[in-house]
Amino acid sequence: METQTMQRTDSKLREFFVDQLKDIYYAEKKLVKTLPKLEEAATTPELKEAFSNHLGQTEEHVNRLEQIFGMINEEAEGKKCHAMNGIVDEGEDIIDDTDEGTAQRDVGLIFAGQKAEHYEIASYGGLISLAKTLGLNNAVEVLNQTLSEEKAADQLLTQIAENKVNYQASQEMAE
């Protein structure tokens, strides 16, 4: 099936695209503030490193979104993302509700991290589809780069869980 592209700059679809860009921009900036807290709360060196490395990537994702705003002549501004706020709040609850230095906490942090990644994967996938329809081919390239990094971060969290953390948590005694 052939994809039709439209070049209108005043369409409802473009308006929605910009709105969703603002949403993910807010979400990424929220994660820039949150990832250091997750890294600090993590026990497993691999998980600490994953959160630390993803912070650098997330800062780059913010820069790429600013680049896309520039491509479409829009101001780079965030719009409150209730989904990411909820995911971050859940992550903070996990930290509060688990014992420091436990694999159980790391399991919870991985859950929180993967919830954030899955939200981002869904958002970037949708934005790519909209950008294609709008004929924003340069934006598609930039969004695809970020999407592949988000998928890789999600896979890394799965590997850390399956190769180490889940088993360690299964060996910790409940109180």
Q: pLDDT tens digits for 98-131?
A: 999 999 999 999 999 999 999 999 999 999 999 9
User: Assign residue 44 a region: left if phi > 0, alpha if psi is -120 to 50, beta otherwise?
Assistant: beta
Report yes or no: 55 and 111 within 8 Å, Cβ to Cβ. Answer: no
Q: What value does the mean pLDDT take over residues 59-83?
A: 97
The enclosing H or E element of 144 equals helix 137-160
Q: Which CATH number fits domain 12-163: 3.40.50.150, 1.10.287.980, 1.20.1260.10, 1.10.10.10?
A: 1.20.1260.10
139-153 tens-digit pLDDT:
999 999 999 999 999
Stated pTM of the model: 0.92
Q: Which amino acid is at 87?
A: I
Question: CA gyration radius for the chain?
Answer: 18
Question: Which residues are within 8 A (CB) of 65 and not within 5 positions of it... i.e. 6 or more apart?
Answer: 21, 24, 25, 28, 76
